[in-house]
Amino acid sequence: MLSFPNCKINLGLHILGKRDDGFHNLETVFYPVPFKDALELIPSTNTGIEFTATGLAVDGNAADNLCVKAYHLLKKDFPEIPTIKIHLHKAIPLGAGLGGGSADAAFMLKLLNEKFKLNLSTDQLINYALQLGSDCPFFIINKPCLATGRGEMLEEIAVDLSAYKIVLINPGIHINTGWAFSNISPAQPARSIKEIIHQPVNTWKDELKNDFESAVFTAHPAIKEIKEALYTQGAVYAAMSGSGSTVFGIFEPNTGPVSLKDSNYFIKIIN
């Protein structure tokens, strides 16, 4: 059985305060983007789970991969699930603010639920997904959502960017999420993202902010330069996604090609 986990971008990201559990309360809009990995589940007669990967290099041990953790999470409650082989073809850059690993984990849960007829509801899948990561529940719903709490409180929201061209640019700079949070001074914004997001896209530039950008741009000026270049080339809105380092630009569909001075950057255009 095959599925295609997609990535997401963050439309605005406010860090509101640190919680007693060590996480942060935030506000953001998760928006799904059709740039995808490929994930295959194959029943196996072997005694242990097998995990293989192609495409972009997947760091770490196979046992630590979120797809494998998703399998063990459900296996604990549904021991009748047989041993499987998992193959992941990785196209979404890792550690890029696009939620690729979270998407893989959530889609693994959905694959297991469908393949082995576990009859888990959406709410049940979301509860399992949250045990794998704060971004994972979004990919169970996989529709534009306002996210609050630590990112797990989701409210579907009417945002449609299908008439625009979206350009994703990743410079290959790894941003440590813990470092990014440690350089944030949480605060209540003057206006909420929920309010701003319903305005026309061409008004977002001055109001829809990602709180991580200030610290990340100071530490890595090349990421700031990408955002500035996207605006120079006609983006109606540009921002860093999550804690970075991917920057996205939203363009009118008839805008010309995007070019950057560093041709080694990863660039993906979604029309």
pLDDT tens column, 126-136: 999 999 999 99
Question: b or e along 132-154 (b: 16 or more beta carbons within 10 Å of the residue's beta carbon)?
Answer: bbbbbbbbbbbebbbbbbbbbeb
The tokens for 126 are: 């979301």
What DSSP character marks residue 82?
P
Angstrom distances, CA of residue 75 to CA of 66, 131, 181, 194, 247: 14, 14, 33, 38, 37
Q: What per-residue confidence (pLDDT) applies to 264?
A: 80
Rounded Cα–Cα distance for residues 78 and 131 (Å): 16
Sign of the Cα torsion 203, 209, 213, 214 reads positive
- Locate the DSSP E strands across 37-150: 38-43, 50-55, 84-90, 145-148
List, for residues 2-43, the tens digit of each pLDDT value.
Answer: 999 999 999 999 999 888 888 889 999 999 999 999 999 998
User: One of 37, 104, 135, 211 is an active-site residue; which one?
Assistant: 135
Of 8, 90, 110, 268, the active-site residue reads 8
Q: CA-CA distance, 71 to 224, in Å (whole number)?
A: 39
Residue-wise pLDDT for 138-176, tens only, equals: 999 999 999 999 888 999 999 999 999 999 999 999 888
Q: How far is CA 174 from the centre of its chain?
A: 15
Verify whether residue 37 is a known catalytic residue. no
> Mind listing the domains of the chain with CATH numbers?
2-156 (3.30.230.10), 165-270 (3.30.70.890)
pLDDT of residue 80: 94
Confidence of residue 246 (pLDDT cuts 50, 70, 90): very high
Tell me the mean pLDDT in the region 44-71: 90
Separation CA 125–CA 153 (nearest Å) = 14
Contact by Cβ (8 Å): 104, 139: no
Split at pLDDT 50, 70, 90, the class of 48 is confident
Query: Lowest mean pLDDT: which of 136-140, 241-245, 252-256?
Result: 252-256
Q: Is the pLDDT of residue 261 over 90?
A: no
Active site residue 135: yes
19 residue type, one letter: R
Question: Is residue 240 within 8 Å of 247, Cβ to Cβ?
Answer: yes
Name residue 7's beta-bridge partners: 33
Classify residue 161 by burial, with Cβ atoms within 10 Å: 0-12, 13-18, 19+. middle
Tell me the average pLDDT across 65-73: 96
Instruction: Check residue 187 and give its pLDDT.
Output: 86
Phi and psi based region of residue 95 (left: phi greater than 0; alpha: psi -120 to 50; beta: remaining)? left
pLDDT value for 254 = 86
Q: Tell me the two tokens of residue 216.
A: 């990340």
Assess contact for 172 and 154: CB atoms under 8 A.
no
